[in-house]
Amino acid sequence: MDEGIEESYSSSEWSEEASEEDLDEQIIRDTRDKIDAAADGDPSLPMLLRELGIRLHRRFMNSFDATDLEDSIELLEKCISLMPAEDRVGRSSSLFDLSNALHERFEDSGDMSDLERSIAAMRACVDGVASTALDQELRHITLSSRLRTRFKKTGAVTDIDGAILLMQKVVDGNLEPTARSRNLNTVGFLCIAAYEKTGQSAYLDRSILAFQEAVDLTPQDQPSRGRRVRDLGLWMEVRHSRTGNIADLDRAILLLQESVNLTPATDGNRAEWLHSFAVFLGHRYQLTGALADIEEGIRALEEGINLTHEINNRNQELAPLRYHLGMQLTWRYERTKAATDIANAIQALRQAIESECASPADNVRRIQSMGSLGNALLSRFRTTREIADLEEAISASSASVQEMKKDDLGDGHHSNNLASGLHSIGYMYEQKFLRSGNLVDLDETISIRRQCLSTAISGHPYAALYGLELGLSLDRRYQKTKSMPDLDEAISLCLSALHQEHSFPRVRIRAGKHLVRLCALASKWEEAYGAARAAIDLIPAGILQSLENSDKQQLIGQIIGLASDAAAVALMAGKDAHTALVLLEKGRGVLASSLEGLRADTLGLHDKHPELEERLIRLRQDLDQPDSAEVGAESPSWEARARRRYDASRELELLLVEIRQQAGFEDFLLSPTEDKLRSAASFGPVVLINVSKFRCDALLVDKHQIWCLPLPNLNVDEIERRARLGNLGSLPVLRWLWDDIAQPVLKALGLVTPPSPSTTWPHIWWIPTGPLRRFPLHAAGYHTGSLPASSVLDRAMSSYSFSIRSLLHSRDQRALSVTTTTSPVSPETTGKILLVAMPTTTGQTPLPFATQEIAVIQALSPELNLSPIIPARLKDDVVRHLPECKIFHFAGHGLADPINPAKSSLLLDDWTTNRLTVGTLMGLNLHTSQQQQGPFLAYLSACGTGRTRDEKLVDESVHVVGACHLAGFRHVIGTLWEVRDESCVDVARLVYQGLRDGGMSDESVCVGLHYALRELRRRWVDGWKGPDVTSEAPEDGEERVAKLKLKGGGGGSAGRADSELLYWVPYVHFG
């Protein structure tokens, strides 16, 4: 009987255990004798005929003598014909027996007329009278089964609908939990049969509701629960694949995890269910990029392989596990570049290919494994550039595609597999073209990708990816041939991919990013603007709140430059500066925006809707946790962390909708309005320097307006050229920054002369974008010679911010600190200052002035009403003291990680085994420390704390300065590159004196650093012996280089003579 139905057939009138054979034969003989002796009209004759018919049917079940079945049917038909009309119960029971016998003959012969007669008899039985409610239930179940059998033969949807209706009546009529859950399971499978035939989502939805209720009614300790939970998970994943609703996939994963947990290692099902669990995790990884998913998937597949070895060691059962293990190891290798992963992936896939093919399904898996082996070899080629890997990759993938074409099953699943294989081969030929430059290889790439797109089912989520990749290949050919049809088709394909709603958000964002560039090539600025806006709007869906920060960084790297290009094409399309600014704000600083949203002030909500605030805080706490890589072994399991994060993410979305329905909270945590953006300039203008390949502009914000200042002399190629040279603080660079950026900006702001001694210094907040973020705009200018006040330092004080949103968030925290304290921050307020000096660090050059620097600050602490804390120079001890400090001052080495900026760190005594990393700091939430004020200042007297070496994250705050800011410090002082050890003492002394003199106000931080830099510049100018400003200074400056101790080595400006002399340049203030 069919799966799911068989549970309902635990007993019946015709399936009782047979008596001893000799007794049965005796009864048959006696009954025949009684029938022969009975006279016509004998009232006992119908029941005798029925008894003999049942006995012969039972004997057939043992002997398979067709004569017995034929006689049984004949006897039961005669019984029914003789049954008195008033014996409705007897007649109904006899129809039941006849239906069963006819169905038995149908199963033996395949004669559809027997099935039709069996169904007709069972319908009449159901319409009759049953002796008990259980009998009537059994008849409904049996007729439902017969209709499903006919549906499988004929495909008539009316039959499966009838089967569902009958089983639903059974469900409604029996509320006993065990029976109800069993019957609901049957309804679920019937609806699945209807869904698979019709493709109508209503059937799938109804099946999931039935499976869910069946699970709800099944106790935890019941053996059937594991399978029922697994069935529900499988079909929720199917619905996800149909609709793209990731909530269904999240739920499916949690259900499969539960089914695995309920199944002991000795149960043969555990390996199968581990396999399904891992496959679903792989699906989610491809959607979200959450590395933890494939980490857990790999663990599950490895366990499944070990269990299969232990239980039966059958290669054909190992093959699917090895196939998916190979795929997921390949994906992890593409993230981590661990050579062991790709070696193990290739080995697993080769083993899967060599497995015995006992069925067509096994052969399909072998073909898929060949394709995945090609992908693994390609992945290794992209790292090693070994041509043998590329050649074998093409060979394996081509063989896979040819096998698929031979075994064409004519269904959608086969088409999707074939399209996937063609997509991989297209990518391989593209790599071959990039290596050879031969247009023949590019033409082959385009031909294969056309086949791929035409093979894919229209509307399938991957169809957008296939169209996008074809468009990019056509674009490559356009770059070579300037064929306008190629460009036009590329634009059309990218536009189609961007607007395919069932596709993955990350694919659609990529399509939008490329479409902006292609439309710009054709000078279609309005179309470029539309594409940019659509892509920017998709970012929240592509980078989910539930992801860990490290996964967000990986995804953000794929959209580098999109926001700047979006702002530029908006201006080219004639949009105003506010429109361009909104695009910049939405598309940059995604990680910071995510964390700041989780840590934003809820004070207004607390006053009017405390219950909503309480729920919001709880969900934020679930989401705002350190990454799994930053927590210890005692932390919750992957399952618990994942469940908490995904559930909290879904609940948070719904809660925010509810909050925004309350009066006065309509824009709660939404993008700031134009008025709110202008309010960021309450204490001084904000200058965003947008850098794009299309144009460069300064977007200027003051209290009254937002406007655009084009910077025609600035271009991204020149910025990147100077960045590659590494002399970012040299005199020529400072003069270039002044001429092309700072001087036009200051003129537009009306800052054309130095402020008079009696006036307050103007204060500018700089927000550079893209590669310009590495340059010292605050130090731009002519600092030698006779030109008066031709530098930023002579016209205004400078601070930096990551975005206007970030600046507004800091201002909100500042307001909160005043609101939630009983008295304003004043010189009388006592706080703590955490002081860490690292004069010696393992593997680094000594910094003898670090101890002196801390001593100077410690001596000033009483005047600042600060109590010093001197922790052990170990990560855990420093982190333990951070929540209680008002100021954190670190004097030592910093390390910027060029591969993973989240691993950039401040080096303590245990840095080789337990680093204080950017990831650690980002995982802290210090906003509610210090009696709700949050910490005031992080002073990072170390090299390159404000530098990101990963160009893909240049618009994110993934460096030590940014991490401290996101952790909750209102102000951070850091450096753009290496600094001189001795100079750090002077800068720190002057800054803290400024804090003292300014009453430790927010403004005093910038004032203190500004005057410190001006003083150090004065000393430097007094000692300058280089050429006058009117002459051309050589790029390397004067050959007058002192032997300087630098906090760090290599990078930004080290190795250039005048850069080393301009030791005051790299210090910056964020806040």
Counting residues of the chain whose pLDDT is more than 90, the rounded percentage is: 56
pLDDT exceeds cutoff 90 at 314: no
Pairing of strands 905-906, 916-917: antiparallel
* SS3 category, 865: coil
State the DSSP string of 239-278: HHHHH--HHHHHHHHHHHHHHHHTS-TTSTHHHHHHHHHH
| pLDDT attached to residue 928 | 62
Other beta carbons less than 10 A from residue 880's beta carbon: 12
**What is the average per-residue pLDDT within 508-513?**
93
Residue type, 17: E
pLDDT exceeds cutoff 90 at 309: no
The tokens for 76 are: 């039961």
Within 8 A by CB and 6+ apart from 216, the residues are none
pLDDT exceeds cutoff 90 at 149: yes
pLDDT exceeds cutoff 80 at 984: yes
CATH entry, 1-154, from 3.40.640.10, 3.40.50.261, 1.25.40.10, 2.60.40.1180: 1.25.40.10
Q: How confident is the model at residue 10 (pLDDT cuts 50, 70, 90)?
A: very low
> Out of 177-191, 211-225, 347-361, 512-526, which region has the weakest mean confidence (pLDDT)?
347-361
Same CATH fold assignment for domains 1-154 and 828-1023+1065-1070: no
Cα–Cα dist 498/507, whole Å: 8
* CB half-sphere exposure, 343, CA atoms < 13 A: 3
| pLDDT attached to residue 606 | 67
**What is the average per-residue pLDDT within 413-436?**
89
pLDDT exceeds cutoff 90 at 698: yes
**Pair 450, 419: CB distance under 8 Å:** no
* CB half-sphere exposure, 929, CA atoms < 13 A: 21
Residue type, 379: S
| CA-atom Rg of the chain in angstroms | 37
Cα–Cα dist 293/284, whole Å: 7
Q: How confident is the model at residue 553 (pLDDT cuts 50, 70, 90)?
A: low
Higher-confidence residue: 1027 or 369? Answer: 369
| pLDDT attached to residue 824 | 40
> Out of 290-304, 329-343, 383-397, 784-798, which region has the weakest mean confidence (pLDDT)?
784-798
Pairing of strands 937-941, 916-917: unpaired
Cα–Cα dist 403/71, whole Å: 52
Cα–Cα dist 616/875, whole Å: 31
Q: How confident is the model at residue 951 (pLDDT cuts 50, 70, 90)?
A: low
Other beta carbons less than 10 A from residue 830's beta carbon: 10
Nearest 5°: the CA angle 431, 451, 487 is: 65
Q: What is the dihedral of CA 751, 754, 757, 763, to 10 degrees?
A: 50
| DSSP letter (8 states) at residue 701 | E
Burial class (CB in 10 A: 0-12, 13-18, 19+), 78: middle
* CB half-sphere exposure, 98, CA atoms < 13 A: 29
State the DSSP string of 849-906: HHHHHHHHHHHHGGGGTEEEE---SSHHHHHHHGGG-SEEEEES-EE--SS-GGG-EE
pLDDT exceeds cutoff 70 at 1050: no
Q: H or E segment at 689? A: strand 686-691
**What is the average per-residue pLDDT within 457-479?**
91
Residue with tokens 């179940």: 141
Burial class (CB in 10 A: 0-12, 13-18, 19+), 521: middle
Q: What is the pLDDT of residues 84-108, one digit of tens each?
A: 888 889 899 999 999 999 999 999 8
**Pair 930, 894: CB distance under 8 Å:** no
Cα–Cα dist 1013/793, whole Å: 8
Cα–Cα dist 580/573, whole Å: 10
Higher-confidence residue: 479 or 821? Answer: 479
What is the dotted CATH code of the domain comprising 828-1023+1065-1070? 3.40.50.1460
In 3D, which of 365, 372, 288 has the Cα closest to residue 329?
A: 372
| pLDDT attached to residue 636 | 45
Residue type, 692: S
| pLDDT attached to residue 548 | 63
DSSP count for the chain of H helices, then E strands: 43, 14
Q: Chain-wide mean pLDDT for the chain?
A: 84
Q: What is the pLDDT of residues 266-286, one digit of tens each?
A: 888 999 999 999 999 999 998
Cα–Cα dist 400/377, whole Å: 14
Q: What is the pLDDT of residues 150-163, one digit of tens each?
A: 999 999 999 999 99
End-to-end CA distance of the chain, in Å?
71
**Pair 884, 832: CB distance under 8 Å:** yes
pLDDT exceeds cutoff 60 at 14: no
Higher-confidence residue: 375 or 651? Answer: 375
Residue type, 220: Q
In 3D, which of 169, 115, 160 has the Cα closest to residue 138?
A: 169
**Strand ordering across the sheet containing 916-917:** 894-895, 905-906, 916-917
Q: How confident is the model at residue 622 (pLDDT cuts 50, 70, 90)?
A: low
Nearest 5°: the CA angle 551, 552, 555 is: 90
| pLDDT attached to residue 973 | 96
Where residue 768 falls (left for φ over 0; alpha for ψ -120 to 50; beta otherwise) is: beta
Cα–Cα dist 222/196, whole Å: 29
The tokens for 506 are: 């990350």
Angle between helix 291-311 and 549-556 (nearest 10): 110
| pLDDT attached to residue 96 | 93
| pLDDT attached to residue 288 | 82
Cα–Cα dist 1036/1055, whole Å: 9
The tokens for 120 are: 């007709």
Q: How confident is the model at residue 616 (pLDDT cuts 50, 70, 90)?
A: confident
**Pair 418, 401: CB distance under 8 Å:** yes
Cα–Cα dist 22/650, whole Å: 67
**What is the average per-residue pLDDT within 375-387?**
93
In 3D, which of 9, 8, 12, 11 has the Cα closest to residue 214?
A: 8
pLDDT exceeds cutoff 80 at 746: yes
* SS3 category, 147: helix
Cα–Cα dist 687/706, whole Å: 10
pLDDT exceeds cutoff 90 at 691: yes
Angle between helix 577-587 and 562-572 (nearest 10): 170
Alpha helices in 820-865 (DSSP H): 849-860
| pLDDT attached to residue 1 | 35
> Out of 181-185, 357-361, 448-452, 616-620, which region has the weakest mean confidence (pLDDT)?
357-361
| pLDDT attached to residue 1026 | 53
Q: How confident is the model at residue 1041 (pLDDT cuts 50, 70, 90)?
A: very low
Q: H or E segment at 834? A: strand 831-837
Residue with tokens 């070994």: 386
The tokens for 708 are: 């655009």
Pairing of strands 887-891, 937-941: parallel
How far, in Å, are 848, 854, 871 from residue 989 at the CA level? 16, 10, 21
Q: What is the pTM of this model?
A: 0.74
Cα–Cα dist 266/252, whole Å: 24
| pLDDT attached to residue 609 | 82
How far, in Å, are 13, 415, 552 from residue 462 at the CA level? 53, 12, 22
What ranges do the domains of the chain cover? 1-154, 322-407, 828-1023+1065-1070
Q: How confident is the model at residue 342 (pLDDT cuts 50, 70, 90)?
A: very high
Cα–Cα dist 909/895, whole Å: 14
Q: How confident is the model at residue 430 (pLDDT cuts 50, 70, 90)?
A: very high
| pLDDT attached to residue 1039 | 30
Pairing of strands 971-975, 1067-1070: antiparallel
pLDDT exceeds cutoff 90 at 323: yes
